[in-house]
């Protein structure tokens, strides 16, 4: 039985939260600190790699405990069990959601699909990934002219691109000599730009597509195959292509040797597939051992998520905080601000993971929801973002809860830079919390020798009200393991929110419409007839055609 449908707004905890919200909505975070002397300890969780401090939120002990009650009343405990065991919780596609099984190293794991345990299949594929990545890394995999591989190109889009791409970037410090490239957009300029400096003799392509029907991926793979054929013969192509797909026939049809096809399973969603063979580019880029460490990190977070009580459970708490702001404070978005350049692609990865999962307006009974679901996720690394959009976070009219992610140690070990970086990291969350009072601004301006009249004129612009909420996620060091934990933390946050919002997080029907319409327009290009489109689109299509 899939997840039970429970309308969250009918739960007593939701009603309790509504009344607490009315009583507490004007209490500032600083006042919460005054009212709750042990707030720092009580609103922090220390896990193996991270200290998560969620004390800088518009949440009191009372609201937090009502939020935890909401999780309990929503049947979250049972839902977690179903998620990890392999129940078909992706009900509209009749599939299990078992990416957690890809990083479960316990032979006795009960994760199974249709009564069959998945451990053996996962383990076999992991060995195949190991063999493949080792042969690329130790130079025994040769191209058509007998040279070892130097460059790996991942061809995929959406979940078959964003996760591996983000992780390869994030673990740049741990890279082997293999250079990795990602081609995703159907824009021919993307693929041609990506291969223009590559040597076909030493380039290996990974075509990653769960369905093996995705327009972008197939077209890019065809373009790259043609590029190879300008340099070598058809029979040599297999030395330069591997595929990762649930559709082995289609991959064979494309001309990829059966030995070079890695399985994907329908019980792993594309946006959660980086732990599977879809992560081949990761294993090539950082070596298999580091790939395994990444999986182990995720497994550690899975353990924490399954066993910690809700009030000390990192994914549960961050999910509840998100719900509190989305549904009670009407916040529309949340920002992800990593203070490490290595995580520059984290926000765009989380955009798909979160927004494709929880961007749903219909509940599990098929009714329109009457409350807010998935938030807009966005962000950029600090300190760059401080010089870009932080103005709006500090003094704008929007409420934007933000996650600040930083690490105690830098990877290259430059202490001066790291102190500068982390000073900014801590300063920003403090400034967002405290703002800047009229008193402080006045003192500052007096010291600068301004007159009283000048001070009065400048005051409104220089005062920051503060009270802007942040979660601080302070890690030891960015490593394959800590990255695995961090990604799994967000995956489980998404799951928890989907359960409480009573929506199906693991389908993505909304993506289909655009694909269908684009195919129809491709047909229109052939007939040159556009009048069945709306007037604006017809005009634009004609203008485009005229330039051909």
**Which residue ranges make up the site for ligand G6P (CB under 6 A)?**
157-160, 209-211, 214, 217, 270-271, 356, 508, 511
The least distance separating ligand G6P from the CB of residue 264, rounded to whole angstroms, comes to: 8
Angle at 494 between CA 340 and CA 400, to 5 degrees: 60
- For ligand G6P, the closer CB: 217 or 470: 217
Catalytic residue among 107, 196, 387, 412: 387
Clarify whether 57 is annotated catalytic: no
Exposed, middle or buried: residue 512 (CB in 10 Å: 0-12, 13-18, 19+)?
Answer: exposed
- From residue 149, give the alpha-carbon distance in Å to each of 143, 255, 270, 317, 516: 7, 20, 27, 45, 38
Measured CA to CA, the distance from residue 517 to residue 522 in angstroms comes to 9
Closest CA to 153 of 122, 197, 187: 197
Q: Which of 356, 380, 418, 492 is catalytic?
A: 356
Nearest-approach distance from CB 54 to ligand G6P, in angstroms:
30
| φ/ψ of residue 398, rounded to 5 | -95, 145
Minimum distance, C-beta of residue 491 to ligand G6P, in the bound complex (Å): 14
Our measurement of the distance from residue 461's CA atom to the centroid of its chain's CA atoms, rounded to an integer in Å, reads: 36
Beta bridge partners of 241: 205
| Smallest separation, CB 119 to ligand G6P (Å) | 24
Compute and round to an integer the Cα radius of gyration of the chain: 25
Q: Which is nearer to ligand G6P, 184 or 385 (CB)?
A: 184
At closest approach, how far in Å is the CB of 345 from ligand G6P?
A: 15
Secondary structure in 3-state letters for 461-520: HHCECCCCCEEEEEEEECCHHHHHHHHHHHHHHHHHHHHHHCCCCCCCHHHHHHHHHHHH
Q: Which is nearer to ligand G6P, 140 or 213 (CB)?
A: 213
Q: Taking the complex as a whole, how short is the minimal distance between the CB of residue 268 and ligand G6P, in angstroms?
A: 10
Nearest distance from C-beta of residue 387 to ligand G6P, angstroms: 33
Question: Residue 185 and residue 188: Cα distance in Å, rounded?
Answer: 8
Q: Is 197 a catalytic residue?
A: no
Tokens of 115: 């009564």
Count other C-beta atoms under 10 Å from residue 277's C-beta: 25
Q: In the complex with ligand G6P, which residue's Cβ is closer, 74 or 214?
A: 214
Count of H-run helices and E-run strands, the chain: 22, 13
User: Which of the following is catalytic: 131, 409, 515, 529?
Assistant: 515
Are 244 and 280 a contacting pair, CB within 8 Å? yes
Closer of 393 and 503 to ligand G6P (Cβ):
503
d(Cα 55, Cα 35) in Å, to the nearest integer?
Answer: 12
CA distances from 415 to 51, 99, 340, 382, 468 (A): 21, 38, 14, 17, 29
CB 69 within 8 A of CB 61: no
Shortest reach from residue 220's CB to ligand G6P, in Å: 11
Tell which residue, 400, 405, 398, has the closest CA to residue 381: 405
Nearer to ligand G6P, 186 or 463 (CB): 186
Residue 238 falls in the annotated catalytic set: no
d(CA 470, CA 449): 35
Q: How far is the CB of 506 from ligand G6P (least distance, A)?
A: 10
By C-beta, is 217 or 340 nearer to ligand G6P? 217
Task: Label residues 239-256 b or e (16+ Cβ within 10 Å = b).
Answer: bbbbbbbbbbebbeebeb
The catalytic residue positions are 356, 387, 515
């Amino acid at each position: 039985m899939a997840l039970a449908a429970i309308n969250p707004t009918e739960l007593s905890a939701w009603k309790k939260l509504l009344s607490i919200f009315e009583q507490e909505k004007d209490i500032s975070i600083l006042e919460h600190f005054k009212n709750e002397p042990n707030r720092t300890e009580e609103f922090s969780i220390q896990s193996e790699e991270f200290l998560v401090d969620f004390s800088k939120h518009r949440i009191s002990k009372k609201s937090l405990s009502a939020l935890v009650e909401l999780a309990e009343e929503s049947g979250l405990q049972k839902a977690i069990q179903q998620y990890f065991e392999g129940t078909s919780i992706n009900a509209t596609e009749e599939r299990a959601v078992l990416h957690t099984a890809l990083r479960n190293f316990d032979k006795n794991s009960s994760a199974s699909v249709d009564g069959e345990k998945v451990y053996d299949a996962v383990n076999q594929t992991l060995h195949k990934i190991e063999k493949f990545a080792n042969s690329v890394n130790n130079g025994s995999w040769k191209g058509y002219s007998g040279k070892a591989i130097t460059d790996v190109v991942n061809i995929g889009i959406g979940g078959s691109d964003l996760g591996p791409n983000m992780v390869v970037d994030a673990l740049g410090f741990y890279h082997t000599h293999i250079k990795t490239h990602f081609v995703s957009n159907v824009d021919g300029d993307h693929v041609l730009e990506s291969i223009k400096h590559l040597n076909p003799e030493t380039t290996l392509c990974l075509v990653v597509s769960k369905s093996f029907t995705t327009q972008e991926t197939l077209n890019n793979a065809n373009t790259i195959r043609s590029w190879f054929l300008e340099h070598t013969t058809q029979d040599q192509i297999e030395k330069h292509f591997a595929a990762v797909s649930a559709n082995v026939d289609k991959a064979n049809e494309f001309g990829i040797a059966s030995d070079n096809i890695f399985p994907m399973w329908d019980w792993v969603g594309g946006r959660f597939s980086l732990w599977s063979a879809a992560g081949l580019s990761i294993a090539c880029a950082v070596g298999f051992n580091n790939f395994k460490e990444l999986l182990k990190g995720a497994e550690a977070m899975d353990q924490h998520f399954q066993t910690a009580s809700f009030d000390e459970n990192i994914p549960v708490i961050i999910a509840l905080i998100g719900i509190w702001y989305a549904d009670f404070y009407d916040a529309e978005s949340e920002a992800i601000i990593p203070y490490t350049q290595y995580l520059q692609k984290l926000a765009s990865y989380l955009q798909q993971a979160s927004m494709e999962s929880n961007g749903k307006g219909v509940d599990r009974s098929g009714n329109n929801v009457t409350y807010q679901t998935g938030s807009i996720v966005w962000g950029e690394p600090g300190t760059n973002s401080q010089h870009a959009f932080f103005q709006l976070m500090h003094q704008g009219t929007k409420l934007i809860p933000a996650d600040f992610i930083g690490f105690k140690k830098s990877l290259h070990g430059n202490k001066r830079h790291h102190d500068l970086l982390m000073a900014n990291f801590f300063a920003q969350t403090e400034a967002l919390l405290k703002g800047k009072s009229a008193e402080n601004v006045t003192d500052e301006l007096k010291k600068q020798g301004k007159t009283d009249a000048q001070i009065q004129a400048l005051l409104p612009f220089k005062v920051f009200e503060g009270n802007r909420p942040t979660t601080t996620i302070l890690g030891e060091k960015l490593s394959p393991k800590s990255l695995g934990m961090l990604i799994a933390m967000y995956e489980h946050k998404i799951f928890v929110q989907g359960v409480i919002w009573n929506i199906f997080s693991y389908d993505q029907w909304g993506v289909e419409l655009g694909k269908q319409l684009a195919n129809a327009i491709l047909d229109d290009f052939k007939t040159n007839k556009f009048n069945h489109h709306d007037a604006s689109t017809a005009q634009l299509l004609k203008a485009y055609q005229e330039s051909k």
